[in-house]
Amino acid sequence: MTTQHVALTEEMLDRERAKIGIEMTPREPYFNTAATRDAIRHFADGIGDFNPLWRDPEYARSTRYGCIAAPPCFLYSVCRAPAALGLPGIHSWHSGNDWYFYKPVLVNDEFTYSWVLTKLVEKTRSQVADRIFLQYHDILYKNQKGELVAKQVRWATRVERRSAGERGKNRDIPKAEYTASDLERIYADYDAEEVRGSTARFWEDVQVGDELTPVVKGPLSMRDMIAYAIGAGGPFMKAHAAFLSFSRRHRGFAMIDSRTGALDAPELVHEEISRAQEIGIASAYDYGSQRISWVGHLLTNWMGDDGSLKNLYAELRRFNIVGYTTWARGKVTRKYVENGEHLVDIDCWAENQLHEVTLPGHATISLPVRE
């Protein structure tokens, strides 16, 4: 059921390159197939987002949607990554997304999705492993009406586990330490979070240079990762015989912990320290989609119920390990009118307690006008 610590071969790469441009659909659901009220609430809880638009039916009826909506990044729970990533036994690090949102996700919407491998590019220089490839996919999401709701451009870093573990470039990430005053500052930032909600943010009132009220996440714990997994799910979220059956149907995906001999999903690098250290990382670390969803939380807080997130681009540059704290931040860089829409561009990023930017990105938001 596993091809643990395999080395990349040209034959493997040729098989993967042969898939470029071919649209594929799943044989079984990734996780959520519908944005039920409970599914939306679980996802919002998993990223710590208490916007009443995601959870309060009475409140939501008074909005332009007339019903509960979902955070745009809820679509990660429909499909976070293609079911057939290829290159079995080669580890995958989620490295970034470029999201395009075309329709809102409303309560009880149903979804299908497909994906296309667009590029497989070798990095010529790397301190992480002997050979590294960047793998690019487009994932398309459609609702029950056949409407294209969103497109996710996704890229992942594919590395040989043995090589990454031996080099251990990220093994010496320092542990987080906090004083009582550090924690008080973090909790104060939680208390200062501002959900714009029903108070419209008009395009005319926005100025270039305006800063968004930060959203804080952390100190990161295993509970946070488990809560995210409950909301965002994934194909590995199966237990006992169901997981064994999945492993047998998808030979080559599983990962053996060389210290314990246990075979399990590679996803456990987010929950088990020994799994993370197996591939050269100091400790268990967050899901890339989780951190990008935190930035989505920052943006929906700021834009209010009448705004629309059009685009969210994010690069995952550093690992965010257990114990670290993240602030999602943003600043307005441009306002303009295009095709009749009043738009605002925002530089957004995630920054840890060491003031390191772990995620640089940018976004475009459509805002209402007073007229």
d(CA 174, CA 171) in angstroms, rounded, equals 9
* Tens digit of pLDDT at every position of the chain (371 positions): 444 567 888 999 999 999 999 999 999 999 999 999 999 999 999 999 999 999 999 999 999 999 999 999 999 999 999 977 888 888 889 999 999 999 999 999 999 999 999 999 998 766 666 788 999 999 999 999 999 999 999 999 998 877 767 676 788 899 999 999 999 999 999 999 999 999 999 999 999 999 999 999 999 999 999 999 999 998 888 899 988 888 888 777 778 777 788 878 888 899 888 888 888 899 999 999 999 999 999 999 999 999 999 999 999 999 999 999 999 999 999 999 999 999 999 999 999 999 999 999 999 999 999 97
CA 349 to chain centre: 14
d(CA 85, CA 265) in angstroms, rounded, equals 14
d(CA 310, CA 100) in angstroms, rounded, equals 6
Dihedral sign from CA coordinates of 98, 103, 106, 110:
negative
Residue 253 Ramachandran class (φ > 0 left, ψ -120 to 50 alpha, else beta): alpha
b/e code 204-213 from CB counts within 10 Å (16+ = b): eebeeeeebe
User: Hey, what CATH topology would domain 10-366 get?
Assistant: Thiol Ester Dehydrase; Chain A (3.10.129)
What are the strands of the beta sheet with 357-366, ordered from one edge? 23-24, 111-123, 132-143, 148-160, 90-101, 308-315, 357-366, 341-352, 326-338, 215-217
**DSSP 3-state percent helix, strand, coil across the chain (nearest 5):** 25, 30, 40
Quick one: tokens of 139? 């994932």
